[in-house]
Structure 1
Amino acid sequence: MIFETFTTFNGIYHGYRAPQSGAPTLVFSNSLGTDLRVWDRVIHRLPNSWGILRSDKRGHGLSTMAETLSIETMTDDVEILLDHHNIGPFIGVGLSVGGLIMQRLAVRRTQGAQAMTHLVLSDTAAQIGSPEVWNPRIETVLTDGIAAIGDTILSRWFAPAYRETEDFAMWRMMLERTPAKGYAQVCAAIRDADYRDALADIAQPTLVLVGAQDSSTPPALVKATADAIQTATFCEIDTAGHLPCVEQPDVFATLLKSHIGA
């Protein structure tokens, strides 16, 4: 059994496992209000020989806060880790805001020894929401805390059946224990991001996934993003909301492995 090593580098908390015998390396980027554990169930279904890199965004999990934050600076953080571990080539896997980060990384890392070879985008888009959506959320979180919007967010994250399970409570704890400032900074970064014109620049074979019951990034929005990427394949996952890697990890892992030909 090969284990990930968890540590901090330049204030970024991350887990890394080197690949064995030429196996692929997967680089994961997670969603708003979650930490790197959101990928646990998928990673446990992947071969132990595969390389893994996952990290906490600034102001989330165990990573330190940043003075300012944008999708570009969060992408910089992932590149810092890629360079630190001399990772390449790799497969990018992004969920929600992590999908925005991976879209940018796909455009940055197109050639050379540290290029992204395949891309997986889950429950994301090139533009998510509008200032009319994000500004009130930011104000509420900074004034009243994340718990004030917890029920609303969680109803968008998960399909109704999953919200009745015992597991559901731990995701509420993960969300509500995210620092308010860190959460608000990422909200603002999403609000200010519009990469629709850059989708045509993504050349990697791309798998675009969405939970059929996702109301944060609805299937129609995610499919529109897939349609704008010439190399993309779109797949809707039944009985899942915004986090199919949590609700349907078997399906997620199977689709991922098929996409990269493993």
Structure 2
Amino acid sequence: MPQLEVDGATLTYDDEGPRGGGVPLVFVHGWTANRHRWDHQVAYFSERRRVIRLDLRGHGESGGAGVKTIGELAGDVLALLDHLEIERFVLVGHSMGGMIAQTVALAHPERVERMVLVNSIGRMAYSRGRGLLMAVSTLVPFKLFVAANIQRAFAPGYPREEIRRYVASSADTPREVVMTLYGAMRAFDVLDRAGEIRTPTLMIHGYHDIQLPVRQMLRMAKAYPDATVRILDAGHELPVEKPAELTAAIDAFVTPAS
């Protein structure tokens, strides 16, 4: 289990798969999650190409806190890739990880060969009522705040025992990290710059996503010069709700036709 020290954080990561099997895939998880969200995808792709995934600082088995913006998390990802001497890559990001991916693509378009945004958007947008509800939700006890956000991330019918497991895992993320990055996501806004991202991009979303609704993703897709859209019968947690379908969609997008 390799680790890298970056600006006061200890980043835990996995570097798997054969070298020389094509441009490496880099998987970035979302808020309160960890690198194991990508277990299905990594098991599949690492059989034939290099795959990198990490626990973002303060998440999973990575230590450290102090980040206040999505840009700072993007800096951690780039520091890891520089350490591994990976110049060009395919970037796959889920939810907040997709915000990180867009930040990297805007700052270093020459390094991102393709990009996959899973249940992610370019700008958080709320109705007045939902905005008030989100603000009030930060005032409730921490574990209740986490549970409310994670439970609603799954589509109706997903096994309750599995949801409880993800709630418990998310609640293990330090409060400072959870709340600071909650604010960072609400402040994230690159929608007006979406036209600058000329990287071929797959936007794949769950139809039942109420965390980041499909209509917000579609608004972003319209602004991208080169976007492919897929919508699956799932909620916000596509990597675990529909792992095989997500993996197949990524594979079709990143693997050149023979």
> TM (normalized to structure 2)?
0.89
Cα distance in 2 between the residues matched to 1:58 and 1:22:
29
2:149 corresponds to which letter in structure 1?
I
Deviates further, 32-41 or 78-87: 32-41
* Displaced runs of 4 or more, over 3 A: 129-140
Cα distance in 2 between the residues matched to 1:172 and 1:38:
13
Determine whether 1:205 maps to 2:200: yes
- Residue ranges of structure 2 left out of the alignment (5+ in a row): none
Alignment of 1:207-226 (within 5 A): 207-226=202-221
2:208 corresponds to which letter in structure 1?
Q
Task: Say if 1:134 and 1:187, in contact at 8 Å, map to a contact too.
Answer: no
2:136 corresponds to which letter in structure 1?
P
In structure 1, the residue matched to 2:60 is: 61
In structure 2, the residue matched to 1:117 is: 113
Alignment of 1:139-178 (within 5 A): 139-140=139-140, 144-145=141-142, 147-164=143-160, 166-178=161-173
Cα distance in 2 between the residues matched to 1:195 and 1:21:
34
Q: The residue matched to 2:199 in structure 1 has which SS?
A: coil
CA deviations 1:45-101 (Å, max 9, x no partner) are: 224121111112222222223334201111100010010001132100011111110
Cα distance in 1 between the residues matched to 2:67 and 2:30:
18
Task: Say if 1:207 and 1:233, in contact at 8 Å, map to a contact too.
Answer: yes
- Residue ranges of structure 1 left out of the alignment (5+ in a row): none
Kindly report the root-mean-square deviation, in angstroms, between the aligned alpha carbons of the 2 structures. Answer: 1.9
Offset, 1:128: 1.9
Offset, 1:153: 1.5
Determine whether 1:184 maps to 2:179: yes
Cα distance in 1 between the residues matched to 2:17 and 2:47:
10
2:227 corresponds to which letter in structure 1?
A
Cα distance in 2 between the residues matched to 1:47 and 1:75:
23
Offset, 1:117: 0.3
Offset, 1:133: 5.7
In structure 2, the residue matched to 1:194 is: 189
Offset, 1:261: 2.5
Cα distance in 2 between the residues matched to 1:22 and 1:84:
20
CA deviations 1:151-206 (Å, max 9, x no partner) are: 42233211121134x43332122112111111011111112211111111111110
Corresponding residue to 1:260 among 244, 248, 254: 254
Q: The residue matched to 2:2 in structure 1 has which SS?
A: strand
Q: The residue matched to 1:162 in structure 2 has which SS?
A: coil
Cα distance in 1 between the residues matched to 2:139 and 2:187:
16
CA deviations 1:94-129 (Å, max 9, x no partner) are: 111111100011122222xxx110000011111124
Determine whether 1:93 maps to 2:92: yes
Q: The residue matched to 2:56 in structure 1 has which SS?
A: coil
Percentage of pairs with the same residue:
26
In structure 1, the residue matched to 2:103 is: 104
CA deviations 1:5-60 (Å, max 9, x no partner) are: 43243222222225423333111111111111111122222241211111122222
Deviates further, 130-139 or 25-34: 130-139
Q: The residue matched to 1:204 in structure 2 has which SS?
A: coil
Q: Structure 1 residues 135 and 14 mapped into 2: Cα distance closer, same or farther (>3 Å)?
A: farther
Offset, 1:139: 4.0
Cα distance in 2 between the residues matched to 1:51 and 1:37:
17
Cα distance in 1 between the residues matched to 2:165 and 2:63:
22
Cα distance in 1 between the residues matched to 2:14 and 2:51:
8
